[in-house]
Amino acid sequence: MRDVLAEAAFALFLERGFERTTVDDIVSRAGVGRRSFFRYFPSKEDAVFPDHERCLADMTAFLEAAGDAEPVDAVCDAARIVLRMYAANPEFSVQRYRLTREVPGLRTYELSVVRRYERTLAGYLERRCDGARDGALRAEVIAASVVAAHNNALRSWLRSGGEGDAEAAVDHALGIVRETWGSGAGRPPAVPAADGEVIVMVAAKGAPMWRVVQQIESALGER
């Protein structure tokens, strides 16, 4: 019933415009009563975004099950759940994007939905950074970075009419977040050996050079 009501509402929004469509119009098209509509949607705006509540629940469950995963990787992977929701129905997603651009009230509603995603990511990061210096600040900044990167790539895809590879674009954008805030942030890139292998060695700060060389020779000998 939720999907039937959402489909009826969106069809009417496209035919008549959002402002000129009433709840009575929607329930009439769907063949149900007003009580049925309000059982599933508090407002017309909610009918434009019927899948976000489910997506938010999926994101929350994903993060709860992330365990000891690297935190930045976890929130980037969680953001991809939103991408998959949009990519599952490109035609609907593109039409909704265009409608949202035309109706200021829908744009405001969409921003509130985005903020809920951001708060979910930040809450997870804050729990993982509990007790760390500037943990709450870092959580907010990283969550905002994830959302900004994800939405930049997603909206570019929507503006194109759904052309191209949305997942590749979002992965590229989130890759910048991982490089900036992930556990490997700030490390120099590893230099491949001639045969394509990579050797990474960690030495204590202040270790004598002879000890560093000894460790390198030991690592090379064990290959």
- On the question of pLDDT at 212 being above 90, the answer is no
The residue that leads in pLDDT, 198 or 107, is 107
Percent of the chain with pLDDT over 90: 57
- Lowest-confidence segment of 10-24, 139-153, 194-208 by average pLDDT: 194-208
Residue 64 predicted with pLDDT over 80: yes
Chain mean pLDDT for the chain? 86
pLDDT at 188: 44
Structure tokens at 21: 């469509």
Contact 76, 146 (CB under 8 A): yes
Task: State yes or no: pLDDT of 41 exceeds 70.
Answer: yes
Residue 85 pLDDT grade (very low, low, confident, very high; cuts 50, 70, 90): very high
- Domains of the chain in start order, with CATH, are 51-181 (1.10.357.10), 192-223 (no CATH)
The CA distance from 16 to 13, in Å, is 5
pTM of the predicted structure, to 2 decimals? 0.76
The model's confidence at residue 70, banded by pLDDT at 50, 70 and 90, is: very high
Identify the band that residue 203 occupies on the pLDDT scale cut at 50, 70 and 90.
low
- For residue 25, which amino acid is it? D
The arithmetic mean of pLDDT across residues 197-219, rounded, is 60
Q: What pLDDT, in 10s, does the model give residues 158-181?
A: 999 999 999 999 999 999 999 999
**Rounded mean pLDDT, 11-35:** 91
Q: Are 157 and 169 in contact (CB under 8 A)?
A: yes
